[in-house]
Copies of this chain bind each other. A is one copy, B any other.
Amino acid sequence: MAEAIVRKDYASDQEVRWCPGCGDYSILKAVHRALADAGADPHNTVFVSGIGCSSRLPYYVNTYGFHTIHGRAPTIATGVKLANPALDVWVITGDGDGLSIGGNHLLHALRRNIDLNILLFNNEIYGLTKGQYSPTSREGTRSPTSPGGSLDQPVVPGLFAVGAGATFIARAVDIDQKGLPGILNAGRDHKGTAFIEILQNCIVYNEDVWQSVSSKKTAADHQVLCVHGEPLLFGKERTQGLRLNLATLKLEAVTLGENGIDISDILVHDETSTTLAHLLLSMHSPLPTPMGIIHRRPTASFEQAFREKKTGQRRQRVKQLLRRGDLLDRR
Protein backbone atom coordinates (compact mmCIF):
# COMPACT_ATOMS: atom_id res chain seq x y z
CA MET A 1 0.00 0.00 0.00
CA ALA A 2 1.80 2.99 -1.27
CA GLU A 3 -0.18 5.88 0.14
CA ALA A 4 -0.64 6.59 3.80
CA ILE A 5 -3.69 4.86 5.11
CA VAL A 6 -5.95 6.49 7.59
CA ARG A 7 -8.41 5.16 10.13
CA LYS A 8 -11.44 5.13 7.91
CA ASP A 9 -9.66 3.11 5.25
CA TYR A 10 -9.98 0.21 7.64
CA ALA A 11 -13.74 0.46 7.84
CA SER A 12 -15.47 -2.04 5.58
CA ASP A 13 -18.50 -1.20 3.45
CA GLN A 14 -20.85 -3.19 5.66
CA GLU A 15 -23.52 -1.48 7.72
CA VAL A 16 -22.70 -1.74 11.42
CA ARG A 17 -25.53 -3.46 13.23
CA TRP A 18 -25.00 -3.12 16.95
CA CYS A 19 -27.51 -1.46 19.24
CA PRO A 20 -27.16 2.29 19.32
CA GLY A 21 -24.91 3.17 22.26
CA CYS A 22 -23.17 -0.21 22.44
CA GLY A 23 -19.55 -0.16 23.59
CA ASP A 24 -18.62 -2.26 20.58
CA TYR A 25 -18.72 0.87 18.42
CA SER A 26 -15.90 2.43 20.42
CA ILE A 27 -13.84 -0.72 20.27
CA LEU A 28 -14.31 -0.90 16.52
CA LYS A 29 -13.10 2.66 16.22
CA ALA A 30 -10.04 1.86 18.32
CA VAL A 31 -9.32 -1.16 16.15
CA HIS A 32 -9.46 0.96 13.01
CA ARG A 33 -7.22 3.48 14.68
CA ALA A 34 -4.72 0.84 15.82
CA LEU A 35 -4.49 -0.62 12.32
CA ALA A 36 -3.92 2.82 10.88
CA ASP A 37 -1.31 3.63 13.49
CA ALA A 38 0.48 0.40 12.70
CA GLY A 39 0.08 0.91 8.96
CA ALA A 40 -1.19 -2.66 8.81
CA ASP A 41 -1.49 -4.22 5.38
CA PRO A 42 -5.15 -5.24 5.08
CA HIS A 43 -4.23 -8.07 2.75
CA ASN A 44 -2.03 -9.66 5.36
CA THR A 45 -4.36 -9.07 8.26
CA VAL A 46 -7.09 -11.48 9.34
CA PHE A 47 -9.78 -11.04 11.96
CA VAL A 48 -11.25 -14.28 13.23
CA SER A 49 -14.23 -14.28 15.57
CA GLY A 50 -16.70 -16.62 17.21
CA ILE A 51 -20.36 -15.85 17.77
CA GLY A 52 -21.86 -13.06 19.82
CA CYS A 53 -22.49 -9.36 19.33
CA SER A 54 -18.77 -8.79 19.79
CA SER A 55 -17.94 -11.42 17.19
CA ARG A 56 -19.63 -9.38 14.48
CA LEU A 57 -16.64 -7.07 14.42
CA PRO A 58 -14.72 -8.70 11.55
CA TYR A 59 -17.46 -7.72 9.10
CA TYR A 60 -16.69 -4.10 9.83
CA VAL A 61 -12.95 -4.17 9.31
CA ASN A 62 -11.61 -3.86 5.81
CA THR A 63 -9.17 -6.76 6.04
CA TYR A 64 -9.63 -10.49 5.62
CA GLY A 65 -12.16 -11.76 8.13
CA PHE A 66 -13.76 -14.99 9.29
CA HIS A 67 -16.88 -15.05 11.46
CA THR A 68 -16.86 -18.63 12.64
CA ILE A 69 -18.81 -20.61 15.21
CA HIS A 70 -19.40 -20.18 18.89
CA GLY A 71 -16.28 -20.46 21.01
CA ARG A 72 -13.95 -21.81 18.34
CA ALA A 73 -12.26 -18.66 17.04
CA PRO A 74 -8.91 -19.41 18.74
CA THR A 75 -8.76 -22.81 17.01
CA ILE A 76 -9.56 -21.45 13.58
CA ALA A 77 -7.12 -18.61 14.09
CA THR A 78 -4.51 -21.19 15.09
CA GLY A 79 -5.09 -22.97 11.79
CA VAL A 80 -4.79 -19.71 9.88
CA LYS A 81 -1.59 -18.71 11.64
CA LEU A 82 0.08 -22.10 11.35
CA ALA A 83 -0.85 -22.30 7.69
CA ASN A 84 0.60 -18.89 6.98
CA PRO A 85 2.78 -17.49 9.78
CA ALA A 86 3.30 -14.27 7.83
CA LEU A 87 -0.26 -13.17 8.56
CA ASP A 88 -1.21 -10.80 11.34
CA VAL A 89 -4.02 -12.70 13.04
CA TRP A 90 -6.52 -11.12 15.44
CA VAL A 91 -9.13 -12.99 17.41
CA ILE A 92 -12.34 -11.29 18.49
CA THR A 93 -14.37 -12.96 21.21
CA GLY A 94 -16.75 -12.23 24.07
CA ASP A 95 -17.00 -13.35 27.66
CA GLY A 96 -19.51 -16.02 26.65
CA ASP A 97 -17.80 -17.01 23.44
CA GLY A 98 -14.31 -17.04 24.88
CA LEU A 99 -14.87 -18.17 28.43
CA SER A 100 -18.05 -20.18 28.45
CA ILE A 101 -18.17 -22.51 25.46
CA GLY A 102 -14.69 -21.55 24.29
CA GLY A 103 -12.71 -21.64 27.53
CA ASN A 104 -10.72 -24.70 26.59
CA HIS A 105 -9.53 -23.32 23.29
CA LEU A 106 -8.51 -20.09 24.96
CA LEU A 107 -6.54 -22.09 27.52
CA HIS A 108 -4.71 -24.02 24.86
CA ALA A 109 -4.05 -21.04 22.64
CA LEU A 110 -2.54 -19.19 25.58
CA ARG A 111 -0.48 -22.16 26.65
CA ARG A 112 0.83 -22.87 23.16
CA ASN A 113 1.64 -19.20 22.76
CA ILE A 114 0.86 -18.95 19.07
CA ASP A 115 1.25 -15.41 17.77
CA LEU A 116 -2.38 -14.28 17.94
CA ASN A 117 -3.82 -11.03 19.18
CA ILE A 118 -6.88 -12.02 21.20
CA LEU A 119 -9.43 -9.36 22.14
CA LEU A 120 -12.05 -10.46 24.63
CA PHE A 121 -14.98 -8.06 24.90
CA ASN A 122 -16.19 -8.50 28.45
CA ASN A 123 -19.68 -7.13 29.01
CA GLU A 124 -20.37 -9.76 31.66
CA ILE A 125 -23.43 -10.95 29.78
CA TYR A 126 -24.56 -12.92 26.73
CA GLY A 127 -25.64 -10.03 24.55
CA LEU A 128 -26.67 -11.73 21.32
CA THR A 129 -28.92 -14.29 22.96
CA LYS A 130 -30.68 -11.57 24.91
CA GLY A 131 -29.08 -11.09 28.21
CA GLN A 132 -28.44 -14.33 30.12
CA TYR A 133 -25.70 -14.22 32.75
CA SER A 134 -22.24 -15.27 31.60
CA PRO A 135 -19.19 -16.85 33.29
CA THR A 136 -17.91 -13.37 34.10
CA SER A 137 -21.20 -12.11 35.54
CA ARG A 138 -20.85 -11.14 39.16
CA GLU A 139 -22.51 -13.38 41.69
CA GLY A 140 -26.11 -12.37 42.10
CA THR A 141 -26.55 -11.06 38.53
CA ARG A 142 -30.23 -11.08 37.63
CA SER A 143 -31.00 -12.23 34.12
CA PRO A 144 -33.63 -14.24 32.26
CA THR A 145 -31.91 -17.44 33.40
CA SER A 146 -31.10 -16.19 36.89
CA PRO A 147 -34.08 -14.12 37.95
CA GLY A 148 -33.15 -14.72 41.57
CA GLY A 149 -29.50 -13.81 40.98
CA SER A 150 -26.75 -16.00 39.57
CA LEU A 151 -25.01 -18.45 41.93
CA ASP A 152 -21.78 -19.09 40.06
CA GLN A 153 -18.51 -17.63 41.22
CA PRO A 154 -17.33 -15.72 38.14
CA VAL A 155 -14.08 -16.38 36.35
CA VAL A 156 -11.62 -13.49 36.25
CA PRO A 157 -10.34 -13.48 32.66
CA GLY A 158 -6.89 -12.20 33.52
CA LEU A 159 -6.39 -14.67 36.37
CA PHE A 160 -7.47 -17.45 34.11
CA ALA A 161 -4.88 -16.28 31.59
CA VAL A 162 -2.19 -16.30 34.27
CA GLY A 163 -3.16 -19.87 35.12
CA ALA A 164 -2.93 -20.79 31.45
CA GLY A 165 0.61 -19.46 31.24
CA ALA A 166 -0.23 -16.45 29.07
CA THR A 167 2.74 -14.33 28.04
CA PHE A 168 0.80 -11.10 27.48
CA ILE A 169 -2.18 -9.94 29.53
CA ALA A 170 -3.72 -6.50 29.23
CA ARG A 171 -6.94 -4.79 30.13
CA ALA A 172 -8.62 -1.69 28.75
CA VAL A 173 -11.94 0.12 28.64
CA ASP A 174 -14.07 0.27 25.48
CA ILE A 175 -14.40 4.05 25.39
CA ASP A 176 -10.74 4.76 26.02
CA GLN A 177 -9.90 6.02 22.55
CA LYS A 178 -6.59 7.32 23.81
CA GLY A 179 -5.22 4.21 25.46
CA LEU A 180 -6.94 1.35 23.71
CA PRO A 181 -5.28 1.61 20.27
CA GLY A 182 -1.86 1.57 21.88
CA ILE A 183 -2.66 -1.51 23.89
CA LEU A 184 -4.06 -3.24 20.81
CA ASN A 185 -0.84 -2.58 18.99
CA ALA A 186 1.26 -3.71 21.93
CA GLY A 187 -0.63 -7.00 21.69
CA ARG A 188 -0.11 -7.05 17.95
CA ASP A 189 3.62 -6.51 18.42
CA HIS A 190 3.95 -9.21 21.07
CA LYS A 191 5.46 -12.41 19.71
CA GLY A 192 3.17 -15.03 21.15
CA THR A 193 -0.45 -14.96 22.22
CA ALA A 194 -1.60 -11.59 23.48
CA PHE A 195 -4.70 -11.60 25.63
CA ILE A 196 -6.49 -8.28 25.90
CA GLU A 197 -9.63 -8.00 27.97
CA ILE A 198 -11.75 -5.02 27.01
CA LEU A 199 -14.38 -3.91 29.49
CA GLN A 200 -17.37 -3.31 27.25
CA ASN A 201 -20.71 -1.79 27.96
CA CYS A 202 -23.80 -3.67 26.81
CA ILE A 203 -26.27 -0.87 26.97
CA VAL A 204 -29.26 -3.14 26.55
CA TYR A 205 -28.68 -6.03 28.92
CA ASN A 206 -26.02 -5.00 31.38
CA GLU A 207 -25.87 -1.25 31.27
CA ASP A 208 -23.13 0.48 33.17
CA VAL A 209 -21.68 -2.57 34.81
CA TRP A 210 -18.29 -0.89 34.25
CA GLN A 211 -19.55 2.55 35.18
CA SER A 212 -17.17 3.13 38.06
CA VAL A 213 -14.10 2.00 36.14
CA SER A 214 -14.91 3.67 32.85
CA SER A 215 -16.61 6.93 33.68
CA LYS A 216 -14.42 9.99 33.63
CA LYS A 217 -15.54 11.02 37.07
CA THR A 218 -14.64 7.88 38.93
CA ALA A 219 -12.01 6.18 36.78
CA ALA A 220 -9.03 7.67 38.52
CA ASP A 221 -10.11 6.24 41.85
CA HIS A 222 -11.25 2.90 40.51
CA GLN A 223 -8.49 1.91 38.20
CA VAL A 224 -4.76 1.63 38.51
CA LEU A 225 -2.84 1.90 35.28
CA CYS A 226 0.03 -0.56 35.16
CA VAL A 227 3.12 0.80 33.45
CA HIS A 228 6.28 -1.23 33.50
CA GLY A 229 8.91 0.29 35.77
CA GLU A 230 6.56 2.84 37.28
CA PRO A 231 5.05 2.78 40.74
CA LEU A 232 1.51 1.50 40.97
CA LEU A 233 -0.21 4.76 41.87
CA PHE A 234 -3.82 5.74 41.43
CA GLY A 235 -6.41 8.30 42.52
CA LYS A 236 -7.15 11.71 41.04
CA GLU A 237 -4.02 13.18 42.49
CA ARG A 238 -2.12 9.90 42.24
CA THR A 239 -1.71 9.95 45.99
CA GLN A 240 -2.70 6.35 46.53
CA GLY A 241 -0.59 3.37 45.77
CA LEU A 242 -0.34 -0.39 46.07
CA ARG A 243 1.88 -2.20 48.49
CA LEU A 244 2.46 -5.87 49.12
CA ASN A 245 1.25 -6.92 52.55
CA LEU A 246 3.67 -9.64 53.56
CA ALA A 247 1.40 -11.07 56.22
CA THR A 248 -1.58 -11.64 53.93
CA LEU A 249 0.46 -11.95 50.72
CA LYS A 250 -2.04 -9.60 49.14
CA LEU A 251 -1.88 -6.13 47.71
CA GLU A 252 -3.22 -3.29 49.82
CA ALA A 253 -3.91 0.35 49.10
CA VAL A 254 -1.97 2.97 50.97
CA THR A 255 -1.97 6.75 50.81
CA LEU A 256 1.21 8.67 50.20
CA GLY A 257 2.01 10.89 53.12
CA GLU A 258 -0.16 8.97 55.54
CA ASN A 259 1.44 6.81 58.26
CA GLY A 260 4.85 7.66 56.93
CA ILE A 261 4.21 6.11 53.52
CA ASP A 262 6.28 7.51 50.74
CA ILE A 263 6.82 6.60 47.12
CA SER A 264 9.51 4.07 47.98
CA ASP A 265 6.90 1.94 49.75
CA ILE A 266 4.85 1.64 46.58
CA LEU A 267 5.28 -1.44 44.43
CA VAL A 268 6.85 -0.73 41.07
CA HIS A 269 5.11 -2.47 38.21
CA ASP A 270 7.11 -5.34 36.77
CA GLU A 271 5.25 -6.60 33.74
CA THR A 272 7.48 -9.67 33.52
CA SER A 273 6.36 -11.03 36.90
CA THR A 274 3.53 -13.55 36.87
CA THR A 275 3.27 -13.23 40.62
CA LEU A 276 2.57 -9.54 40.34
CA ALA A 277 0.03 -10.27 37.60
CA HIS A 278 -1.61 -12.72 39.97
CA LEU A 279 -1.62 -10.18 42.78
CA LEU A 280 -3.00 -7.37 40.66
CA LEU A 281 -5.71 -9.47 39.07
CA SER A 282 -6.75 -10.86 42.45
CA MET A 283 -7.70 -7.45 43.78
CA HIS A 284 -11.32 -6.88 44.65
CA SER A 285 -13.27 -3.73 45.27
CA PRO A 286 -12.60 -1.40 47.08
CA LEU A 287 -9.12 -1.91 45.66
CA PRO A 288 -8.73 -0.46 42.17
CA THR A 289 -9.09 -2.44 38.94
CA PRO A 290 -5.72 -2.92 37.24
CA MET A 291 -5.61 -1.65 33.67
CA GLY A 292 -3.01 -1.46 30.95
CA ILE A 293 -0.34 -4.05 30.25
CA ILE A 294 -0.49 -6.18 33.34
CA HIS A 295 1.85 -8.89 32.16
CA ARG A 296 4.25 -9.30 29.29
CA ARG A 297 7.23 -11.55 29.06
CA PRO A 298 9.32 -12.28 26.04
CA THR A 299 9.13 -15.82 24.63
CA ALA A 300 9.39 -17.62 21.37
CA SER A 301 5.97 -18.12 19.88
CA PHE A 302 4.84 -21.60 18.96
CA GLU A 303 4.75 -21.23 15.22
CA GLN A 304 8.36 -20.15 15.18
CA ALA A 305 9.23 -23.71 16.11
CA PHE A 306 6.41 -25.13 14.01
CA ARG A 307 8.34 -24.86 10.81
CA GLU A 308 7.93 -26.31 7.43
CA LYS A 309 10.97 -28.01 6.06
CA LYS A 310 10.34 -27.23 2.45
CA THR A 311 12.14 -29.03 -0.27
CA GLY A 312 12.44 -28.14 -3.87
CA GLN A 313 11.92 -31.76 -4.84
CA ARG A 314 8.62 -32.58 -3.37
CA ARG A 315 7.57 -35.03 -6.05
CA GLN A 316 10.85 -36.84 -5.67
CA ARG A 317 10.25 -37.07 -1.94
CA VAL A 318 6.74 -38.41 -2.50
CA LYS A 319 8.11 -41.08 -4.77
CA GLN A 320 10.66 -42.01 -2.16
CA LEU A 321 7.95 -42.36 0.44
CA LEU A 322 5.90 -44.60 -1.78
CA ARG A 323 8.88 -46.90 -2.04
CA ARG A 324 9.66 -46.96 1.66
CA GLY A 325 10.08 -50.46 3.05
CA ASP A 326 11.15 -53.63 1.26
CA LEU A 327 9.93 -53.99 -2.24
CA LEU A 328 9.00 -57.05 -4.17
CA ASP A 329 10.49 -56.53 -7.59
CA ARG A 330 8.96 -58.75 -10.23
CA ARG A 331 11.22 -57.82 -13.06
Contact = CB atoms under 8 A, between A and B. Distances in A.
Interface stretch (A50-58, A202-210, A219-227, A270-278): A270-278
A104 B306 CA distance: 25
Interface stretch (A33-41, A89-97, A158-166): A158-166
A46 B124 CA distance: 35
A163 B159 contact: yes
Interface residues of A, number: 41
B249 A111 contact: no
B249 A155 contact: no
A9 B100 CA distance: 41
A282 interface: yes
> Which of A102, A153, A250 has the most chain B CB atoms inside 10 A of its CB?
A153
A330 B154 CA distance: 51
A228 interface: no
> Which of A102, A161, A164, A244 has the most chain B CB atoms inside 10 A of its CB?
A164
Number of copies of this kind of chain in the complex: 2
Interface string A88-118: 0000000000001111100110011100000
Contact of A165 (B112, B156, B305): B156
Given A107-B155, A156-B165, A273 B248 contact: yes
A150 to B, nearest CB: 10
Given A103-B103, A161-B163, A162-B163, A155 B275 contact: no
Interface in A230-268: 244, 246, 248-250
A273 B302 contact: no
Interface string A138-174: 0000000000000111111001111111000000000
Contacts of A270: 249
A276 B275 CA distance: 9
Nearest to A148: B305
A135 interface: yes
A306 B104 CA distance: 25
Contact of A103 (B104, B113, B250): B104
B302 A152 contact: yes
A173 to B, nearest CB: 23
A259 to B, nearest CB: 20
7 contacts: A108-B135, A111-B135, A112-B151, A112-B153, A151-B302, A159-B165, A249-B275
